[in-house]
Chains A and B, each alone.
Chain A
Amino acid sequence: MHDLTRRGLLGAATALAAPLLAGPLAGPALAQPKWPARPVQMLCPWAAGGGTDAVLRIVAILLEKELGQPFNVVNRTGGSGVVGHAAIAAAPADGYTLGIITAEICMLHWQGLTEVTYKNYTPLGLMNNDPPGIQVNINSPYKDVKQLADAIKASTPGKFKASGTGQGGIWHLALAGWLGAMGLKADHVRWVPSNGAAPAMQDLAANGLDFTTCSVPEARAMLDAGRARSLAVMAPERLSAFPNIPTLKEAMGVDYNSGAWRGIAGPPGLPAAVVSTMDAALGKVFASQEYKDFLNARGFGMVYADAAGFGEHMAKADVSLGDAMKAAGLAKV
Chain B
Amino acid sequence: MSELYEAIRLVAAPDVVIAIVASAIYGLVVGSMPGLSATMATALLVPVTFWLSPIAAIATIITASAMAIFSGDIPGCLLRIPGTPASAAYTDEAYAMTRKGQAEMALGAGLWFSAIGGIVGTLSLVLMAPLLAEMALSFSTYEYFWLAFLGLMCATLVARSSPIKAIASMLLGLLIACIGMENPAGTPRFTFGMTDLLGGIEPIPALVGVFAVSEVMRAMASAEPPKLPKRKFGSILANQWMLTKKYQKPMWRGNFIGIIIGVLPGAGADMAAWVSYAMSKKFSKTPELFGTGHPEGLVEAGASNNASLASGWVPALLFGIPGDTITAIAIGVLYMKGLNPGPTLFTENARSMYALYLIFIIANIIMIPLGIVMIRMASTVLRAPRASIMPVILLLCAVGAYATGNNLFSVGLVGAFGILGFVMERNGYPVAALVLGIVMGSMVETNFVTSLIKSDGDVLPFFERPVSAVLAAMTIGALLWPLGVWIWNRTGGARLQPRGAAE
Does A271 make an interface contact (CB < 8 A)? no
Chain A residues, CB < 8 A from B195? 78-79, 82-83, 86, 113-114
Are A13 and B395 within 8 A (Cβ)? yes
Are A298 and B336 within 8 A (Cβ)? yes
Question: How far does the alpha carbon of A86 sit from the alpha carbon of B196 in the complex, in Å?
Answer: 11
Question: How far does the alpha carbon of A195 sit from the alpha carbon of B338 in the complex, in Å?
Answer: 26
Does B321 make an interface contact (CB < 8 A)? yes
What residues make up the interface of A, taking CB atoms closer than 8 Å to B? 1-2, 4-6, 8-10, 12-13, 16-17, 20, 47-51, 53-54, 57-58, 61, 73-80, 82-83, 86, 113-114, 158, 161, 166-169, 190, 192-195, 198-199, 201-203, 205-209, 220-222, 224-227, 294, 297-299, 330
The dominant DSSP class at the B interface is helix
Are A57 and B33 within 8 A (Cβ)? no
Least CB distance from A23 to B in Å reads: 9
Are A167 and B185 within 8 A (Cβ)? yes
With contacts A49-B42, A80-B199 known, what are 11 further pairs, Cβ within 8 A?
A2-B384, A51-B332, A78-B409, A80-B180, A80-B181, A83-B195, A83-B196, A206-B137, A224-B341, A294-B336, A297-B336
Out of B36, B180, B320, which one reaches A221, CB within 8 Å?
B320
20 contacts between A and B (CB under 8 A): A5-B380, A6-B384, A9-B392, A16-B399, A17-B399, A20-B403, A57-B50, A75-B406, A76-B406, A78-B410, A113-B188, A114-B195, A192-B454, A193-B185, A201-B319, A205-B137, A206-B139, A220-B340, A224-B343, A227-B137
Does B446 make an interface contact (CB < 8 A)? yes
Least CB distance from B438 to A in Å reads: 16
Are A299 and B196 within 8 A (Cβ)? no
Least CB distance from B56 to A in Å reads: 16
Does B322 make an interface contact (CB < 8 A)? yes
Least CB distance from B364 to A in Å reads: 23
User: Interface readout for B207-233 with A: 1 if CB under 8 Å, 0 if not?
Assistant: 000000000000000000000000000
Out of B46, B185, B403, which one reaches A16, CB within 8 Å?
B403
The residue of chain A having its C-beta at the shortest distance from the C-beta of B185 within the complex is A167
Does B306 make an interface contact (CB < 8 A)? no
Are A57 and B47 within 8 A (Cβ)? yes
Out of B43, B404, B406, which one reaches A74, CB within 8 Å?
B406
The residue of chain B having its C-beta at the shortest distance from the C-beta of A166 within the complex is B186
Out of A6, A54, A161, A202, which one reaches B392, CB within 8 Å?
A6
Does B189 make an interface contact (CB < 8 A)? no
Are A49 and B380 within 8 A (Cβ)? no
Chain A residues, CB < 8 A from B446? 193, 195
Are A206 and B140 within 8 A (Cβ)? yes
Out of B182, B266, B329, B380, which one reaches A166, CB within 8 Å?
B182
Chain B residues, CB < 8 A from A48? 40, 43-44, 46
Question: How far does the alpha carbon of A206 sit from the alpha carbon of B265 in the complex, in Å?
Answer: 13
Are A77 and B403 within 8 A (Cβ)? no
Does B197 make an interface contact (CB < 8 A)? yes
Least CB distance from B454 to A in Å reads: 6
Out of B29, B138, B320, B341, which one reaches A206, CB within 8 Å?
B138
Chain B residues, CB < 8 A from A76? 405-407
Least CB distance from A192 to B in Å reads: 5
Are A57 and B46 within 8 A (Cβ)? yes
Q: Which of B311-357 contact A (CB under 8 A)?
A: 315, 318-322, 325, 328-329, 331-332, 335-338, 340-344
Does B244 make an interface contact (CB < 8 A)? no
Question: How far does the alpha carbon of A100 sit from the alpha carbon of B175 in the complex, in Å?
Answer: 34
User: Interface readout for B171-205 with A: 1 if CB under 8 Å, 0 if not?
Assistant: 00000000011101111100000011111000000
The residue of chain B having its C-beta at the shortest distance from the C-beta of A330 within the complex is B186
The residue of chain A having its C-beta at the shortest distance from the C-beta of B410 within the complex is A78
Does B499 make an interface contact (CB < 8 A)? no
Least CB distance from B411 to A in Å reads: 12
Are B336 and A192 within 8 A (Cβ)? no
The residue of chain A having its C-beta at the shortest distance from the C-beta of B320 within the complex is A221
Question: How far does the alpha carbon of A43 sit from the alpha carbon of B228 in the complex, in Å?
Answer: 47
Contact status of A167 and B381, CB under 8 A, knowing A57-B46, A77-B199: no
